Amino acid sequence: MSRKYKKKLRKYSYQPNTVRIDDEIIGIVIKKNKNSVSIIPVDRKIRKVFKIKNQNKAVKIDDLVRIKKNTKEEVDRFNIELIETNALDKPLSNISVHKNKIPYEWPDNVIEELKEIKNFNTVDREDLTGIPLITIDGADAKDFDDAVWAKKTENGEWHLIVAIADVSFYVQPNSSLDKEALKRGNSTYFPDQVIPMLPELLSNNLCSLIEDRKRPCLAVHIYINHLGEIIKYNFSRAVIKSKARLTYEQVQSAYDGKSEDVPKEFLADIIRPLYEVYEILHQNRVKRGSLELEILEKKIMINNSNKSISVKNVRKYKSHKIIEELMITANIAAAMELSLKETPSIYRIHEKPDSEKLKLIDKIFDSYNLGLSKKKNITPQDFNKILNLDTNLSDILIKNLILRSQSQAKYNNENFGHFGLGISHYTHFTSPIRRYSDLMVHRQLLNQYKNIELENYETNNKEIADYISFTERRSVDAERETYDRYVAKLLFKKKGSIFKSYIN
């Protein structure tokens, strides 16, 4: 970071105030003299600058530090712990990692346990290596959780296979790997780095469904009728060999006839059937009335030196929607199976919006007499109608209003259905490399807990559901904070420029 930028950052920071510190605070050093330092907290809720006695002479301007109250009885005496030097020149996500206390270092016992990892064998696994399953992911993806394949049967039904990485084979309950995975709860994705739930040996290699490599998986065969309804399914531990690692862009270009990167027979036999089964599943989704809310996603682009920053809109192709729909279908099948067998498990729930949140929408759309806050049986279709209203309000505003009115999706040991998707049974099954919830669901489907002594199993499910709901929110907060920091850094360099914008 240039001296000019740093000087301006300090100039426009808050003026120092002497305050009391009741808990530890993470901050950036913005001023230093012989006897004191001024530190601006990275937590945006704390609108003060801390000026305290400097007891750590190694601390310099722009360092990331932790202020902690001394354990001694002396009043207003603090320790300043150096976390990272020149933090504003390093990946900005490091600030969010420390502020949100996201685990990022692997304990020694996890590293030692990795050395004992054994290769899987094909005994008692369904052989799906002859089925041309493929992975479809983003161009920068490194961990491949899922592979898919679909074919129309002679009787007009669709046979869909969704194969998911068998993380449960490598990560055993109560192992050091398992405890660390639970501690993290999920992977956290930043523009400049990923904090994975599992070590890279597993996440990017042994568990990942890499092209042309045999990999263990938990596969679900789903049979779908012409109405897009699931008529039967079965789960099996299997082995696959991914036919190809494709990106969303490659698949869409091939389908649209704009690219010859994919062989014609590949397009006809593998890709086109996925589009066809998607259309049937999507029609059923529309029929059951799921919330059709598409929010524009933006992505921070930075170079390796962390100096060039840009923001771009993420283009959504139909190929994105295909994978989304297939994963939802697999998640529904998993939830149905767990519920049918009355297996204690973890569900992904999304409850109806609170009436208080709906009053704002009623007020804004008063002339349309919607009365959402007074409805006893509100449905996603009620919100879809708002999206289709002919108003003079911006599309972005309407979508944000609807989004903010929704309850927060979370994990629960009881099944309360998913309001947004308009379904009664839902869980997370398709991403065990990056979500602990999915790993638990795999184990419960495989009944891996059968011979394992776990006290108060149902209570344990409740505690874990609450905890991984917390880690998910923690990661989302950290990701958003990092996004905002990079945007602020970008805009600071464009000071004086004029942009078209809206107030969120």
Q: What does the pLDDT look like over 358-387, one tens digit per residue?
A: 888 888 877 777 778 778 888 999 899 888
**What is the band of 449 on the pLDDT scale with cuts at 50, 70, 90?**
low
Provide DSSP, 373-399. Answer: GG-SS--HHHHHHHHT---SS-HHHHH
Domains defined along the chain, listed by start: 22-89 (2.40.50), 106-349+408-491 (no CATH), 353-403 (no CATH)
3-class SS at 72? coil
For residues 103-120, average pLDDT: 96
Rounded Cα distance between 170 and 173, Å, is 10
Residue 332 has a pLDDT of: 98
| Residue given tokens 């919100």 in the structure block | 383
Residue 1 has a pLDDT of: 52
pLDDT at 448 over 90: no
Residue 56 has a pLDDT of: 79
Greater confidence (485 vs 368) lies with: 485
CB contact at 8 A, 53 and 36: yes
* pLDDT tens per residue across span 14-27: 444 444 556 789 99
pLDDT at 457 over 70: no
For residues 152-169, average pLDDT: 97
The region, left, alpha or beta by phi > 0 then psi within -120 to 50, assigned to residue 45 is alpha
Type of residue numbered 27:
G
Greater confidence (342 vs 215) lies with: 215
Residue 207 has a pLDDT of: 97
Selection from 484, 488, 474, 493 nearest residue 100 by Cα: 474
Selection from 357, 504, 490, 434 nearest residue 5 by Cα: 490
How does DSSP classify residue 62? T
Rounded Cα distance between 14 and 1, Å, is 20
Selection from 60, 61, 64, 56 nearest residue 91 by Cα: 64
Residue 8 has a pLDDT of: 47
Question: What angle do the packed helices 436-446 and 318-340 form, to 10 degrees?
Answer: 50
Selection from 222, 187, 193, 191 nearest residue 208 by Cα: 187
Rounded Cα distance between 256 and 253, Å, is 5
Residue 372 has a pLDDT of: 81
User: Considering only 8-17, 157-166, 257-266, 273-282, which range has the smallest mean pLDDT?
Assistant: 8-17
**What is the band of 343 on the pLDDT scale with cuts at 50, 70, 90?**
confident
For residues 202-215, average pLDDT: 97
